[in-house]
Structures are given as structure tokens and as C-alpha cells.
């Protein structure tokens, strides 16, 4: 039997900096050796796979104000002429992408992220989507989603988005507690949020996701508990409960948050545990470490079948082998290579004017990367790894190839010894106790991690 540790003891052992594994290798391994020309070569390979659908991500970075918890790439401005120019160039990037994919135009998944996509008026959103429709065909069951900010999203915008074919909404809440909202510069009432949810349901959106964040300044067990109760009255199909990544060394605006206002590790863990109790108690299925879905949702069914996938857009049932990305800072995943656009608007415009993709950096996976990516993805998504399946897919003996990793997982003071994971010759399975620490389990398989930790400046946020 595994040794029984208290939660404070587990936190002391495992709550350390580590990747979120939205990709493997992680973005810190990206380099400028992956160029626009390399991307064109990958697109040519992708174009030959004519029967496979695409996933498409589009980054719309503009916001009127900055939320102080935000770790995304955003541009803060109230000058609409700047944003109009950006959309014009984004449409030209769509044209450029289509020119390199003449035989591959079917889309199974589209997501508009930000920033605030609903920063733009309804007619401008319709024009942008029309440019996509001009070149690409959407599958009848395509996931077409958009992130919205209830504070700036009008009923007219929602109506137009639904008419265009959008069927999924994701909206941030983070926490309804007034003192927390004040601290993170995001004042958003429950009543405003409910009105938008009700309108979206009346329009026929088939799935609504609500984002929460635990670990924000001035959060308490009592205050976050009230937020959970309020969210449950909205009954969203999906909920994401993210750990606040406090990374002031990377995001300068976070330096204004007083560190002593952040809940200590034990309280932060209690907030996550309260979320798990609240949503599973209300009939939701837990997806991965911190997502929840109603039982009839596609994510819940995919988890049950162990067919859940994960990409830069989050958990998904779509298994598109290629994801193309448009807009500043956007990251694509095409034919075994990650490619990221520049984060600088002048460079973005200059590249489009020159008729080339605005690629700044990326990473081309080797055979070992692809193997480890599969292992980490299976654990992050499904909490389970079938050893025989890995051996068949990659032509290896698992116990030999991963001897060091298995020793890390099963030795004294290890995740297996502490009851976080069960390791047998047939499978690796994350336990219920281990779900909050699944990133730590995956870290055993990360060949790059040792070189990225231990420095004077942290690279990753803490795992819990």
C-alpha cells in the first residue's frame, strides 16, 4: 500500500514549478531556426493529406483594459483604427494560408481566442468569418467556438455569431467576489453574466464554457464557495478551473499584485478541492486536472472511451492531425512541427506585405519527442497510458526505453509511493488523489525539464 501523506505534505513535495503541457515539447524550447520557409514545407506536406480535416485557431489580441491575472498575449488600446488595420491583415493571412492549402480546405474545429474577439462590432466579425468561409468548408459537426468577455459583448454580437455558425462560447468569470474582481481589474457581476448565458441559450448555442481561476489575490474559501454556487445556477456545459499562474518575471503587469494577497498553498489547494466537490457533486464529470463537463457532453463521453485529445485550444474530441494558426503570437501544429507567429504588430504587417508567413520561431519534433508527446498527452487527457499500445505504435519495449522514468515514478518518495499514480507492466494510471498532480507525473517523461529548472529565474509556474 502507498504511504499516506497529508495534503500539506503532498503540496510540500510536489507543488513546484512545472509545465502545463499544452504542448510537448513546451514553448520554452521553441527557437528561431524554424522559419517561414520551413512552415511552407510543412504546409505542402499537410496539403497532400487531402482527406484529413484541419483545426484552425485565430488570435484576436485587442482588449480595452488589462486584467491583471492575464497571461495571454494582448494589445490594450481604445483606438479602433489600429484594430481595423489588424483585421485587414488577418484577412490577407487567411488568403495566404489558403493559397498554400489548395487541396486541404475542410475544417473540423475553429476557435477565436484573444484578447477579446468581441472587441469588434458585429458586422466586422461577420466580414472576418466570411473570409474564412470564402476559402474553407466546415464539417457539419464542426466545433466553432469563440472566447467572449461578458462585459463588452452585446446581444447583437451573439446573434450574429450564432447566425454565422458559431456553436460554442467560452466566457471568463474567474471569481464573482467583489474584492477579488477589484484586485484583478475585472468588475463583472453575476447578473450580467447570467443575462448573457440566458441569451446564448435562447439563440441555440450548444455548449457554454465558464472559466474560473483559483489562487487569485484575496480569494478565500468562503468567497470562492459562493462563486461556485452561483456558477452552478448557470449550469454551463463545461467549466475550467485554472490555477493562477503568478509569473511576474514574465508578465510585468503582475508585479503590481501584492504577493502577500495571494492565498497560501494549502488554501489554494482547498479552492481546487472545493471546485471538484461542487461540480462532481452536481453531476459533472472531471476532465483532466481542472476541467468539468456535464455527462452528456462530448468531452465526458470521450474521456469514458479514452479518446480525449488536447491541443493549444484545450481539451477536444477532434483528432485533427494539423492545426493552423493565424494572427500575432498564434501557435500552429503542422506535420510534426510547432510554428509561432511574431508578437510584434509591425513585423506581422511587414511579413504579410511581403507575401510571407509571419513566423518568428518554432520547433520540429524528432522521433523521441513524438513518443513522449503521446505519453504525456494520454496522461494529461485520459489519466491512463496503455503500455502495449505505446509499444505497438512506436516499436519499442516500454520498460527498457523508459527505465529511468519508471524509476522516477516508482522509487522511494515517488508519485507511485505516495499514491498519485499506479504503475504496472500493462498501464500507468493517475489516481483520484493524483489528479491535481498530473503535471508532476508527466514531468517524469520530459527530457528537457532538468535543463530548464534550478536557475535563478523560474521558467514555469507552480503545478498546483
Element (H, E) at 133: helix 122-135
- Kind of pairing, strands 106-114 and 75-76? unpaired
* Domain residue ranges of the chain, discontinuous segments joined by +: 1-22+366-464, 23-323
Helix, strand or coil, per DSSP, at residue 114? strand
Q: How far apart are CA 160 and CA 124, in angstroms?
A: 10
CATH of domain 23-323: 3.80.30.20
Check residue 343 and give its pLDDT: 96
- Write the DSSP symbol of residue 220: -
- Looking up cell 522514468 gives 405
- pLDDT beneath 70, residues of the chain: 1-3, 318-320, 454-458
Yes or no: say if 218 and 186 are a contact pair by the CB < 8 Å rule.
Answer: no
Which CA distances in Å does 330 have to 88, 310, 350, 362, 441? 17, 16, 16, 11, 28
Q: How far apart are CA 329 and CA 107, in angstroms?
A: 21
Yes or no: say if 232 and 176 are a contact pair by the CB < 8 Å rule.
Answer: no
Q: Under 8 Å CB-to-CB from 96, ≥6 apart: which residues?
A: 352, 355, 357
- Looking up cell 512552415 gives 39
Closest among 110, 136, 111, 126 to 159, alpha carbons compared = 126
Supply the pTM of this predicted model: 0.92
Helix, strand or coil, per DSSP, at residue 136? coil
Yes or no: say if 371 and 352 are a contact pair by the CB < 8 Å rule.
Answer: no
CATH of domain 1-22+366-464: 1.10.10.920
Q: How far apart are CA 271 and CA 464, in angstroms?
A: 11
- Kind of pairing, strands 238-243 and 168-174? unpaired
Q: Under 8 Å CB-to-CB from 431, ≥6 apart: which residues?
A: 419, 420, 421, 422
Q: Under 8 Å CB-to-CB from 271, ≥6 apart: which residues?
A: 214, 215, 219, 221, 224, 263
Give the 3-state secondary structure of 231-272. HHHHCCCEEEEEECCCCCCCCHHHHHCCHHHCCCHHHHHHHH
Cell output for 319: 483528432
Amino acid at each position: 500500500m502507498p504511504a499516506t501523506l497529508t495534503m500539506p505534505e503532498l503540496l510540500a513535495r510536489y507543488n513546484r514549478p512545472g509545465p502545463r503541457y499544452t504542448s510537448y515539447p513546451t514553448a520554452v524550447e521553441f527557437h528561431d531556426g524554424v522559419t517561414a520557409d520551413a512552415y511552407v514545407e510543412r504546409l505542402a506536406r499537410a496539403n497532400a493529406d487531402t482527406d484529413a480535416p484541419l483545426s484552425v485557431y485565430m488570435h484576436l489580441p485587442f482588449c480595452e483594459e488589462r486584467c491583471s491575472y492575464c497571461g495571454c498575449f494582448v494589445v490594450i488600446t481604445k483606438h479602433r483604427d489600429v484594430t481595423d488595420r489588424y483585421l485587414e491583415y488577418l484577412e490577407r493571412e487567411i488568403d495566404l494560408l489558403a493559397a498554400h492549402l489548395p487541396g486541404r480546405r475542410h475544417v473540423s474545429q475553429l476557435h477565436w481566442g484573444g484578447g477579446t474577439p468581441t472587441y469588434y462590432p458585429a458586422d466586422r466579425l461577420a466580414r472576418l468569418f466570411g473570409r474564412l468561409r470564402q476559402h474553407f468548408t466546415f464539417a457539419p459537426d464542426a466545433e466553432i467556438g469563440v472566447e467572449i468577455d461578458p462585459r463588452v459583448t452585446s446581444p447583437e454580437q451573439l446573434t450574429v455569431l450564432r447566425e454565422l455558425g458559431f456553436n460554442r462560447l467560452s466566457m471568463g468569470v474567474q471569481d464573482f467576489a467583489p474584492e477579488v474582481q477589484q484586485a484583478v481589474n475585472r468588475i463583472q457581476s453575476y447578473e450580467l453574466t447570467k443575462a448573457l448565458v440566458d441569451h446564448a441559450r435562447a439563440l441555440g448555442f450548444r455548449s457554454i464554457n465558464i472559466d474560473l481561476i483559483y489562487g487569485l489575490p484575496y480569494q478565500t474559501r468562503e468567497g470562492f464557495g459562493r462563486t461556485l454556487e452561483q456558477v452552478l445556477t448557470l449550469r454551463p456545459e463545461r467549466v475550467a478551473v485554472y490555477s493562477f499562474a503568478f509569473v511576474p518575471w514574465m508578465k510585468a503587469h503582475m508585479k503590481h499584485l501584492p504577493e502577500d494577497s495571494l492565498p497560501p498553498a494549502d488554501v489554494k489547494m482547498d479552492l481546487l478541492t472545493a471546485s471538484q466537490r461542487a461540480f462532481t457533486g452536481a453531476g459533472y464529470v472531471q476532465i483532466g486536472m481542472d476541467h468539468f463537463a456535464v455527462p452528456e457532453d462530448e468531452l465526458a463521453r470521450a474521456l469514458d472511451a479514452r479518446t480525449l485529445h488536447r491541443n493549444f485550444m484545450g481539451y477536444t474530441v477532434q483528432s485533427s492531425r494539423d492545426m493552423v494558426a493565424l494572427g500575432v503570437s498564434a501557435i500552429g501544429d503542422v506535420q510534426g512541427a510547432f510554428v509561432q507567429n511574431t508578437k510584434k504588430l509591425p513585423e506581422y504587417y511587414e511579413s504579410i506585405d511581403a507575401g510571407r508567413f509571419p513566423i518568428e520561431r518554432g520547433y520540429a519534433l524528432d522521433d523521441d519527442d513524438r513518443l513522449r508527446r503521446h505519453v504525456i498527452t494520454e496522461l494529461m487527457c485520459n489519466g491512463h497510458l496503455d503500455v502495449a499500445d505505446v509499444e505497438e505504435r512506436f516499436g519499442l519495449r516500454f520498460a527498457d526505453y523508459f527505465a529511468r522514468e519508471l524509476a522516477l515514478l516508482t522509487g522511494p518518495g515517488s508519485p507511485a509511493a505516495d499514491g498519485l499514480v499506479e504503475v504496472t507492466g500493462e498501464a500507468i494510471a493517475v489516481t483520484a488523489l493524483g489528479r491535481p498532480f498530473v503535471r508532476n507525473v508527466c514531468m517524469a517523461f520530459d527530457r528537457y525539464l532538468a535543463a530548464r529548472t534550478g536557475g535563478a529565474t523560474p521558467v514555469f509556474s507552480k503545478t498546483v
